[in-house]
Amino acid sequence: MNGAEALVATAVSAGIEVCFANPGTTELPLVLALDSVPGLRGILCLHENVATGAADGYGRMAGKPAMCLLHLGVGLANGLTNLHNAHRAFTPVVNVIGDHATWHRPADPLLATEVEALAHTLSDYVRKSFGAPAIAFDVADAIEATNGGRMATLIVPRVTAPATTSLAALADEARKRGRQKLRAERQRRKVETRWSKKLKLSEY
């Protein structure tokens, strides 16, 4: 497995079933991974706002996040209108934004943008992944961050390099870690609900 395949495998193990995509050349490893790793249906969209609108609609109807794959910061900018709608509607969405390969960034490529700054305008959670060995953990954390109708954005460089550790094992570990955090979050919410009921009763 390379980094792109680990990302898709981890998304599948976390329950993501659909990826609405308007990719470019930077995201080609992820497009290939959608074909080679079973379980995640890729749907090509002709414009970024179509992809983000479809992810918003899917999230509202299914009650769980879809993945949205976009090309660099300019692709994210093109899709912000419907991401704004999703954000206002508390729709869970996982955005995966491709970024230039790290060795290419110093050349100031034509489409270079501050992707993180753009993502922070609407996303509740933003992370930039720095390589294949960590990408399984990063996507698991991003998916977990959508709990409660939040939006998460994961920025990934061109991820074709193999990891030094088994990425299948990383994906499995990321899934376990996500479940542990989800259980802890559910317990926290139960405690909060219990205390809020007590406080309401004490008001009378």
Q: Which CATH number fits the domain 3-202, given the four candidates 3.40.50.970, 3.30.420.40, 3.20.20.140, 3.40.718.10? A: 3.40.50.970
DSSP H or E stretch at residue 43: strand 41-44
CA separation for the pair 69, 40 (Å, rounded): 12
pLDDT in tens, 10-63: 999 999 999 999 999 888 889 999 999 999 999 999 999 999 999 999 999 999
Kind of pairing between the strands at 151-157 and 18-22: unpaired
Q: pLDDT-based confidence at 165, cuts 50/70/90?
A: very low
Domain boundaries, the chain: 3-202
Of residues 63 and 201, more confidently modeled? 63
Residues 6+ apart with CB under 8 A from 15: 64, 143
pLDDT tops 60 at residue 170: no
Q: pTM (2 decimals)?
A: 0.77
At residue 163, the pLDDT reads 47
